[in-house]
Amino acid sequence: MTGDKVTIVEVGPRDGLQNEKRIVSTEDKLALIELLAQAGFSRIEATAFVSPKWVPQMADHDAVMRGIPRRSGLTLSALVPNEQGALAAIQAGARELAVFTSASETFAQKNINCSIAESLQRFRPVLALAAARDIAVRGYVSCAVECPYEGPIEPAAARSVSARLLDLGCSEIAIADTIGRATPERVEPMLAEVLQAVPRRQLACHFHDTSGLALSNVDVALGHGIRTFDSAIGGLGGCPYAPGAAGNLATERLLEHLDRHGHVHGIDRDALAGALQMAQSLKENRSVRET
Q: Is 239 a catalytic residue?
A: yes
| Alpha carbon 55 to its chain's center | 16
What's the DSSP call for residue 179?
T
Among residues 52, 50, 56, 16, which one has the least CA distance to residue 33? 16
Contacts of residue 177, Cβ cutoff 8 Å, sequence gap at least 6:
144, 145, 146, 187, 205, 206, 207, 208, 214, 217
Give the CA count within 13 Å in the CB-facing half-sphere of 289: 8
Q: Report whether 277 contacts 39 (CB < 8 A).
A: no
- The C-alpha angle with vertex 269 and arms to 183 and 22, in degrees rounded to 5, equals 70
What's the DSSP call for residue 15?
I
Strands 96-102 and 75-79: parallel
Q: Which of 147, 170, 205, 239 is the catalytic position?
A: 239
Report the run of H or E that residue 65 belongs to, with start and end. helix 61-67
Residues belonging to the active site? 239
